């Protein structure tokens, strides 16, 4: 990626012994928490507890997300407290920060078209500066998959 980074992969139910993330620069972890917000809060908090200066979280369901988005997020974190990549469905595909902001993960309507707006409202309320990446489509439903460019590229 062109910078010193650790990839931490978080699994929802169990950590497989072998999968595509068996690289020397990846570590595997189990998500902890009763909802997505708690799981994100715990993962980000755990990472900052290990003395990282920045944490960038991405979803695994955004086929158009690429290394340039990650580089841009990292660069924008030099000036902004938070970087967020809005998803077309009203959520987000990426969130990055320079320090833990628990309020961004608490009391949100997860997996809903309200999430991105709720996140923006929280950043405004808490005077958190942010940068928005381009809007991308994530894959949450079969219909999303059918409409995605990913499916087009698979089918030719």
Q: Is residue 148's pLDDT more than 80?
A: no
Domains by residue range for the chain, with CATH? 7-155 (3.90.550.10)
How long a stretch of residues is the chain?
156
Q: What is the C-alpha separation between 101 and 122, in angstroms, rounded?
A: 10
DSSP assigned state of 135: P
SS3 call for 100: coil
pLDDT beyond 90 at 105:
yes
Chain segment 45-101, per-residue pLDDT in tens: 999 999 899 999 998 888 889 999 999 999 999 999 999 999 999 999 999 999 999
pTM of the model: 0.85
């Amino acid at each position: 990626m062109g910078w010193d980074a650790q990839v931490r992969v978080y699994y929802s139910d169990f950590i497989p012994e072998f999968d595509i993330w068996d690289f020397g620069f990846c570590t595997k972890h189990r998500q902890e928490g009763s909802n997505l917000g708690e799981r994100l809060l715990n993962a980000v908090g755990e990472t900052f507890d290990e003395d990282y200066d920045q944490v960038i979280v991405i979803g695994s369901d955004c086929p158009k997300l690429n290394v340039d988005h990650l580089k841009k997020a990292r660069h924008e974190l030099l000036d902004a407290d938070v970087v967020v990549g809005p998803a077309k469905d009203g959520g987000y595909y990426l969130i990055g920060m320079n320090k833990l902001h628990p309020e961004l993960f608490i009391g949100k309507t997860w997996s809903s078209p309200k999430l991105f707006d709720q996140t923006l409202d929280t950043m405004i309320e808490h005077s958190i500066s942010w940068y928005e990446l381009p809007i991308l489509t994530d894959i949450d439903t079969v219909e999303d998959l059918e409409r995605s460019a990913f499916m087009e590229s698979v089918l030719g």
